[in-house]
Amino acid sequence: MKIWTVDAFTKDAYQGNPAAVMVMDDFPIRAQAIAAEMNLSETVFLKPLQENRYHIRWFTPDVEVDLCGHATLAGCHVLFHHLKIPFDEVRLQSLSGDLLVQKEGASSYTLNFPRQDVSDLLDSAPFKAIFPKARLEEVRKAHDDIIVLCANEDEVREALPDFVALQQIEARGVILTSPGVHYDFVSRFFAPKVGVPEDPVTGSAHCKLVPYWAARLGKDTLTAYQASKRGGVLSLRLEKDRVFITGDAVTVMEGMWLGPLS
């Protein structure tokens, strides 16, 4: 069984967010064990259904997740670039409903993902303890995540979170964000609860960040940078209840999986 490692949301190898990709006739019984063995933020499995339709599932080293942007980008890069499917778009059946991915160029793709709205203001005290050096302006519930707004980009980049305290927060992950210097906004994403202390570039977090920053900035087309150690660039657009996320991908490994699948 072939397996690929693809760096997503980057044009350069060893940047962006790596994902392992497997395309198979049926999902392996030991999918979680395979993801743990790969030990990347996500391992993605794609099962062909008919023509340009696939069933997609995403696994961190610890759990299966409902939505993942970078692994979707990586998986579709394999379909278009390596398996040479004869389509310009792929429709995906997922735990988050039907998703659409459009091929934009040789290694550029647009994800059509659900909008996830930001809601209640939360008490900032626990987050001041988690990010002691950052000046927090507000904390909001954001679907299954929490958005923490900082005063400026330096505070996002330089944040050293208390991961023990972070793991006590009842959310999939915590998004630290601020206005950007060269981009509309920057962010970092921490999700130790699902086995990912810091995710390098998180497409699904932008399902919340796009409506949040669109409202704050008064614009529906945005550019963003996820300021992790590896870093990644996202081109973004909000249209009603959908978020469009465009990024590049580059393959860094192609090999054979020799371990048991069941």
Buried b (16+ CB within 10 A) or exposed e, 86-123: eeeebbbebebeebebbbeeebbbbbbbbbbebeeebe
- DSSP of 20-80: EEEE-SS--TTHHHHHHHHTSSEEEEEEEEETTEEEEEEE-SS-EES--HHHHHHHHHIII
Does the active-site annotation cover 51? Answer: no
* Nearest in space to 92 (alpha carbons), one of 82, 84, 102, 83: 102
Residue from 42, 89, 158, 254 carrying the catalytic annotation: 42
- Show the tokens assigned to 158: 């330089």
Catalytic residue list: 42
